[in-house]
Every structure is written in C-alpha cells, then in structure tokens.
C-alpha cells in the first residue's frame, strides 16, 4: 500500500491548544516514527523548511504514535490509508491540507517459488483487491493497471 501522510491530533488537544496554522505545531509535542519519519518534509511542504523541530518521543511504528495521539499526548504524521476510519469516528482530526508524497507502508513478501500456491495466491489477490478498493495500491505496483 502507498499513502500520503498528514498531521493528526485529538479533538481535545486541538481545542485546548488552539491549533490553526502549521507553525502552531512547533509548540506541541511532535510524535516521531522511527521507521520513516517525515516531519522535516511535511514542514518544508508547509513553507517552514529548515526549522528546528521540537523534541518528542519516537515510536517503532505509526500505529503506536497514532494511538498516543488519540490519548492527547501530541501530534503525529499519520498515513491516510491507516487513519481513515479513526478520522471518520471522530477520535482524530486531520490538520491542514498539506501532505507528504506517497510512501509505501505495507507489502507482502513470500518465497518466489511459493507465490503460486493457492492459499498464498488467494491471500495476495484479496489483499490487492482491498488495496485497490481503498485507492492505496502504489502506481508502480505490477498490478496497479489491472
């Protein structure tokens, strides 16, 4: 799957801190993702390139940082493909229309010799259909045009 990223915040933290502009994030706790943190790229896209980012905790994956955001512990960059239902539920709010470029976040790997086995092929076909339905299949994926 591929997905853009954008900042998310809990409704309570947003109301308490009055977050209205990208600059407002600099006074909050930013939550970082050790696998592919993109805060510098996001701030550059927001017109704030080269700024010193506030310190904040680093999490091993975006799911953990997003959970902390739900608990009003800070702001995180979230993958659109991962947080759609959480946004729809109202537990998180998206901040701003600024996004990072799409990044591959999940993939399937198996031994090439086993890829044609019925259970593996069926799982991959189901997963591909789900990704296509969500619009998160990378454009350079071999099956993206199918």
Most confident of 5-9, 36-40, 115-119: 5-9
Helix axes 80-89, 62-70, angle to 10 degrees: 20
- Are the beta carbons of 30 and 59 closer than 8 angstroms? no
Residue partners of 71: CB distance under 8 A and separation at least 6: 10
Cα–Cα distance for residue pair 136/63, rounded to 1 Å: 17
Instruction: Say if residue 6 is in the same domain as residue 72.
Output: yes
Tell whether the model's pLDDT for residue 38 goes beyond 60. Answer: yes
Please tell me whether residues 14 and 60 are part of one structural domain. Answer: yes
The token pair that represents 108 in the structure block: 């399937």
Give pLDDT, residue 104.
Answer: 64
For 86, the domain range is 2-104
More confident residue, 106 or 77: 77
User: pTM of the prediction?
Assistant: 0.76
Q: Which tops the pLDDT comparison, 21 or 101?
A: 21
Query: Are 87 and 130 in a shared domain?
Result: no
């Amino acid at each position: 799957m591929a997905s853009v990223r954008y900042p998310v915040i809990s409704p309570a933290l947003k109301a308490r801190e009055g977050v209205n502009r990208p600059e407002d994030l600099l006074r909050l706790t930013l939550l970082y993702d050790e696998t592919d943190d993109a805060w510098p790229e996001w701030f550059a896209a927001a017109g704030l390139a080269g700024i010193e980012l506030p310190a904040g905790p680093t999490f091993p994956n975006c799911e953990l940082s997003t959970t902390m955001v739900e608990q009003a512990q800070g702001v995180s960059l979230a993958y659109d493909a991962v947080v759609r239902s959480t946004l729809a539920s109202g537990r998180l709010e998206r901040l701003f229309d600024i996004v990072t470029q799409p990044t591959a976040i999940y993939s399937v790997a198996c031994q090439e010799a086993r890829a044609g086995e019925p259970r593996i092929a069926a799982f991959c076909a189901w997963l591909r259909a789900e990704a296509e339905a969500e619009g998160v299949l990378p454009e350079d994926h071999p099956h993206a045009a199918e």
